[in-house]
Structure 1
Amino acid sequence: MFRVILAEDSALLRDGLRRMLTDEGYAVVAAVGDGDALLDAVAAHPVDIVIVDVRMPPTHTDEGIRAALEIRRRWPETGVLVLSQYVEQRYAVDLLTGASARVGYLLKDRVADVGEFLDALERVGAGGTAFDPEVVRQLLRRTTHTDPLRSLTPRERDVLAEMAQGHNNAAIAGRLHVSQSAVEKHVKAIFDKLELGQLDGISRRVLAVLRYLGS
């Protein structure tokens, strides 16, 4: 199991997450209440993943996300799973303008679904991505009349949303009740239309698409 550091200013939620993760076999090496303490903890205890709230003391604006971005810069091998009460589109885009893996952004309501939360945590820890469906939907709505996204078919948009959440082709096929070969054709069409065909790996598959949406 992965080694984890929690950063959440709500003592109730922090303790609840710590107990849940410990019960599931994760090693929670630190649980802190502000961004500075998070950076100190990561420096002292290298871990696989940090789970961090966007808004933390002292101003409760962007301390958490700034700490997360600093972790991405200083310790790129450390996965970052951000939790937020609301969809903060600017912060979601900021997370995407850097390393192209080990990152997730979930709404706090998603934590109530333990299975979904743990699945996202596992994906981030394993080097993948995990974006809340509502975050993806709002990023997808950030389009104008000149955006190539308007050229996507409804099914291609469905596939893009699933890709952005970090699902592979097999998972997308199951979730959308189509064949895997159909998903592969849709993925190719998406990258062709978004002019992302020359990118490689997960940056092409997931994060480059979201960067494009946020550009």
Structure 2
Amino acid sequence: MRIVIAEDSALLREGLVALLESAGHLVVARTSTADDAVRAVSSTDPDVLVLDVRMPDGDEGIRAAVAIRDRNPQQPIMLLPQYVEPRGAAQLLAQPGTGYLLKDRVLDVAGFLDALERIVDGGTALDSQVVAALLDTTGRSGPLDRLSSRELEVLGLMAEGMSNTALSHRLVLSERTVESHISSIFLKLNLDEDTDVHRRVRAVVAYLRSQKT
């Protein structure tokens, strides 16, 4: 993959460069500001942008991501926040090819690389804490109330980007049972079925985002 890294911490930025290059990927640009990130993506056309959410001037990373997506809606972007703050990124989380992982998740190198590959393929990769926040329906009413506790669990793992096979392994269920839960989820949420797993996941994330804003 050809990657642009935008991170204001020099230590983390260079660590990401070393990690990605050791895995055989090419870092085509590295920046420390949001404006430079926008310019770097425009000039290099990378496969994915790894972007710090909090740049020197607050949430400038989000502003840069929105500007980049306005120019190229298909640009894969991995957002790296220090802590969970999904509201500011809600517009982006509902779009295909978006990742949102806490910075300490980078320590799981294999998981981080897998997440990058998923969003480059048009999927999603959301931090489990973000999914938990999206699925928190305490004191709220709405279509999610129609789901059973198991269906909410399946939905949360789908939003993280898990395939049916991964869900089967995680929940110790047969793939047929997982497929049955997913069909029930889409029926209860009035979401059209689609044979493309990534598109279905994005639809779920978009739906959840709409319930939190």
Amino acid of the residue matched to residue 171 of structure 1?
A
Amino acid of the residue matched to residue 155 of structure 1?
R
Q: Aligned-pair distance for 1:51?
A: 0.2
The number of equivalent residue pairs is 210
Q: Does 1:113 align with 2:108?
A: yes
Q: Does 1:67 align with 2:67?
A: no
| Partners of 2:183 and 2:193 within 8 A in 1 | no
* C-alpha distance in structure 1 between counterparts of 2:5 and 2:48, whole Å: 9
Q: Does 1:83 align with 2:84?
A: no
- 1:169 is matched with which residue? 164
Structure 1 residue matching 2:101: 3-state secondary structure: strand
Structure 1 residue matching 2:45: 3-state secondary structure: coil
* Equivalent in 170, 174, 193 of residue 179 of structure 1: 174
Q: Does 1:35 align with 2:20?
A: no
* C-alpha distance in structure 1 between counterparts of 2:195 and 2:66, whole Å: 23
* C-alpha distance in structure 2 between counterparts of 1:121 and 1:186, whole Å: 27
- 1:7 is matched with which residue? 6
1:143 to 1:200, Cα distance in 2 relative to 1, 3 A: farther
Spell out the pairing of 1:15-34 with structure 2 (5 A cutoff).
Answer: 15-34=14-33
Query: What TM-score results when the alignment is normalised by the length of structure 2?
Result: 0.92
Worse overlay, 205-214 or 29-38 = 205-214
Structure 2 residue matching 1:178: 3-state secondary structure: coil
Q: Aligned-pair distance for 1:201?
A: 4.2
- 2:46 is matched with which residue? 47
- 2:192 is matched with which residue? 197
- 1:211 is matched with which residue? 206
**1:85-129 residue CA offsets vs partner (Å, 9 max, x unmatched):** 1111213312134xx421111011111111111110111112211
Structure 2 residue matching 1:6: 3-state secondary structure: strand
| Partners of 1:49 and 1:78 within 8 A in 2 | yes
> Percent of pairs identical after alignment?
49
* Equivalent in 136, 161, 183 of residue 188 of structure 1: 183
Query: What TM-score results when the alignment is normalised by the length of structure 1?
Result: 0.91
